[in-house]
Structure 1
Amino acid sequence: MLLLKLQARWCSFMMAGVLVLTAAAGCGGPDGPELFEVKGNVTYEGTPVETGRITFRKKDSDQKAYSAEITAGAYTMQCEAGPCSVEITASRIIPGKFDTSNPDDEPQPVGEMYIPAKYNSKTQLLADVAPSGENTVDFALTEK
Structure 2
Amino acid sequence: MRRNLALVVCLIFGSLGCGSNSSAPGMHPVKGTVTFDGKPIETGRILFRQSEGDGQAFSAEIVDGSYELEVKEGPSDVTITASRLLPGKFDNSNGTPEQMGEMYIPSKYNRKTELSALVTPDGENEFPFDLISK
Q: Same fold (TM over 0.5)?
A: yes
Partner of 2:83: 91
CA distance in 1, matches of 2:61, 2:8: 36
* TM-score (normalizing by structure 1): 0.79
Return the structure number with greater helix share.
1
Equivalent in 18, 21, 42 of residue 34 of structure 2: 42
User: Are residues 1:139 and 2:129 paired?
Assistant: yes
Partner of 2:25: 33
Cα offset for 1:20? 6.0
* Cα deviation digits, residues 47-90 of structure 1 (max 9, x gap): 11010000000111310001010000011111111100000000
Unaligned residue ranges in structure 2 (runs of 5+): none
Counterparts in 2 of 1:108 and 1:37: CA distance versus 1, 3 Å:
same
Q: Tell me the percent identity.
A: 50
Amino acid at match of 2:45: R
Cα offset for 1:18? 5.3
* Cα deviation digits, residues 14-45 of structure 1 (max 9, x gap): 54565467x37x93869x53211111110111
Counterparts in 2 of 1:40 and 1:17: CA distance versus 1, 3 Å:
closer
Q: Tell me the number of residue pairs that the alignment of Structure 1 and Structure 2 aligns.
A: 128
Alpha-carbon RMSD: 2.2
Runs of 4+ with deviation above 2 angstroms: 14-21, 26-30
User: Are residues 1:108 and 2:98 paired?
Assistant: yes
Amino acid at match of 1:27: G
Counterparts in 2 of 1:19 and 1:124: CA distance versus 1, 3 Å:
same
Amino acid at match of 1:143: S
CA distance in 2, matches of 1:17, 1:110: 50
CA distance in 1, matches of 2:71, 2:55: 12
Larger radius of gyration: 1
Partner of 1:4: none
Q: Secondary structure at the match of 1:122?
A: coil
